[in-house]
A = this chain, B = another copy of it.
């Protein structure tokens, strides 16, 4: 049986007709390797922004259903053009939107989750030797309503298709050359990883390395789909393979270092030390759809019998969080609410740290040597994060990267922004 490779190209890779022709060549190369190929594409370049702008011109609060109808046209354009470009090279190709494939989702607009993908039509067309081009980011409900998958949608479409088709691999082509030990714009001699586990990738993503949206990594992990992040421009390069930790040789305690500058620390001071106070706060925040990351509760002070509850939220949610906390002040009988936007979360991630003691203390040592004050600490099995002052983040990342032996001799060739997912 022939192997199926799913390839995904984002909006910047199909931004104009010349780029689409290049993508066609990359697709054909994989076909010529003897594989069956299913290609998932996003909307061209800034199409989605343009469509959103028109919607906002017309309505302050356009309905989710009609937004999905509107946005799904973006991939409709790119799939047809890519199929034409493949045909122009003399290969058989056919494009399908989500409705035609049967990418079934929940009946939720603008952020639906995929429930099931019909594979019969896809397999039939692959068996006829065709290259299949599928619209990413979109789905359809049982009732025939068009949905979109929200952030990270096209990557998720590709991974879900790879899972449904039992594909050999899912290749995510993007404008970076793979996953690095840290942001190569910050640390010039960051190393590109040839392999990384799903778990490490997830922790790195949550720690601020946005090569892939965590959702697509989770889908890949759940379905055991090997995922490759590789460059749209250097297609001979194999990039980084993301796979199950059980398949990896782990020869290093730390895989990557990341800094997340997008969080704000909130401290609710002098909360009386009686049961249910933390539940009060975080239940209400969850109800208001505010995601909380790190949480620290201090030991109760003996004199006042109060403690401080500190946590971080996405900076965009700061005002909303403060409003929510103010509405709780009478219930909590707490003191001041402090807001600190000048913070950064610096994390080291590595599946190898599980069996190796002393990694956390090595991290704290490095920060101490740099005279970097640690404001909060949180740990998972494969990640240690420290909250520090924003101005200390860069030197902390550089020193940690060096300390854990991640630097290489080659200066990374990084162009432009990290990819949008």
Chain A positions near chain B (C-beta within 8 angstroms): 17, 20-21, 51, 54-55, 57-60, 62-63, 65-67, 69-70, 72-73, 76-77, 79-81, 83-85, 87-88, 94-95, 97, 99-100, 144, 146
Contact = CB atoms under 8 A, between A and B. Distances in A.
Contacts of A76: 69-70, 72-73, 76
Given A73-B73, A76-B72, A85 B65 contact: no
A46 to B, nearest CB: 14
Nearest to A83: B66
Contacts of A87: 59, 62-63, 66
Contacts of A79: 69
A77 B73 contact: yes
Copies in the complex: 2
Given A76-B72, A95-B66, A88 B58 contact: yes
A51 B77 contact: yes
Given A17-B57, A69-B76, A69-B79, 7 more contacts: A55-B80, A59-B85, A62-B87, A66-B84, A66-B87, A66-B95, A69-B80
B94 A81 contact: no
Contacts of A17: 54, 57-58
26 contacts: A17-B57, A17-B58, A54-B77, A55-B84, A58-B85, A59-B84, A59-B85, A59-B88, A60-B88, A62-B84, A62-B87, A62-B88, A63-B87, A66-B81, A66-B87, A66-B95, A69-B79, A69-B80, A69-B95, A69-B97, A70-B76, A73-B73, A73-B76, A73-B80, A99-B144, A100-B146
A72 B57 CA distance: 23
A125 B66 CA distance: 15
A66 B80 contact: yes
Nearest to A17: B57
Given A54-B17, A88-B58, A70 B80 contact: yes
A59 B80 CA distance: 11
Nearest to A95: B69
A58 B86 CA distance: 9
Contact of A70 (B65, B66, B69, B77): B77
Contacts of A77: 51, 54, 70, 73
Contact of A81 (B20, B58, B99, B146): B58
Residue picked from A62, A65, A66, A70, most chain B C-beta under 10 Å: A66
Interchain residue pairs A-B with the least CB separation, the first 4? A70-B80, A73-B76, A69-B80, A17-B57
A87 to B, nearest CB: 6
A21 B58 contact: yes
Residue picked from A21, A77, A79, A100, most chain B C-beta under 10 Å: A77
A80 B97 CA distance: 17
B58 A84 contact: yes
Contacts of A84: 55, 58-59, 62-63, 66, 70
A55 B146 CA distance: 25
A62 B166 CA distance: 32
A58 B85 CA distance: 6
Contact of A58 (B20, B58, B70, B100): B20
Contacts of A67: 80
Nearest to A145: B100
A379 to B, nearest CB: 47
Nearest to A88: B59
Nearest to A101: B144
A218 to B, nearest CB: 30
A51 B80 CA distance: 10
Contacts of A21: 58
Contacts of A80: 55, 66-67, 69-70, 73
B60 A81 contact: no
A83 B67 CA distance: 10
A83 B79 CA distance: 25
